[in-house]
């Protein structure tokens, strides 16, 4: 981003890195586009030219989305069951669409955040140290 008094490039704050990932912005300049489609990464940033070849989110976003969605849907279903005890068809009508739509809404943001965090922490593939 900018330069500090010592001439070193200042690293953006953790919050702005998270926000850039959620918004689907470039993890370096926070202005360019990270995605070329819904989940497909662009080859590089259209503003600063950062090559997104380093980005490998793998299955991480899907796992986090499954956990968060399950927590929300099951938690809400239990609360509604305890407070109102509706019939099972109403549970299916309420929680079925939510269980389908919530992951679709969250997946892009979670993928963007994981890629932004990879960039911020300069994450790379693990290697075994040779003796």
Q: What is the pLDDT of the chain when averaged over all its residues?
A: 90
Of the candidates 43, 6, 44, the residue with the CA atom closest to the CA atom of residue 28: 44
pLDDT computed for residue 5 by the predictor: 54
Average pLDDT of the residues in 112-131: 85
Residue boundaries of the structural domains of the chain: 14-120
Cβ atoms of 72 and 110 closer than 8 Å? no
For 41, residues 6+ apart whose C-beta sits below 8 A from its C-beta are: 34, 35, 52, 55, 115
Q: Give the tens place of pLDDT for each residue, 42-90.
A: 999 999 999 999 898 889 999 999 999 999 999 999 999 999 999 999 9
- pTM, full prediction: 0.84
């Amino acid at each position: 981003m900018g330069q500090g008094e010592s001439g070193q490039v200042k690293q953006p704050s953790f919050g702005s890195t998270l926000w850039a990932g959620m918004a689907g912005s470039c993890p370096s300049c926070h202005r360019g586009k990270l995605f070329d489609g819904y989940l497909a990464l662009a080859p590089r940033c259209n503003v600063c030219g950062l090559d997104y070849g380093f980005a490998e989110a793998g299955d991480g976003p899907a796992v986090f989305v499954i956990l968060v969605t399950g927590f929300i849907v099951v938690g809400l279903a239990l609360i509604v069951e305890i407070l109102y005890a509706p019939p099972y068809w109403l549970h299916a009508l309420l929680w079925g669409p939510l269980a389908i739509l919530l992951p679709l809404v969250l997946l892009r943001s979670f993928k963007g955040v994981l890629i932004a965090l990879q960039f911020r922490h300069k994450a790379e593939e693990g290697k075994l140290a040779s003796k």
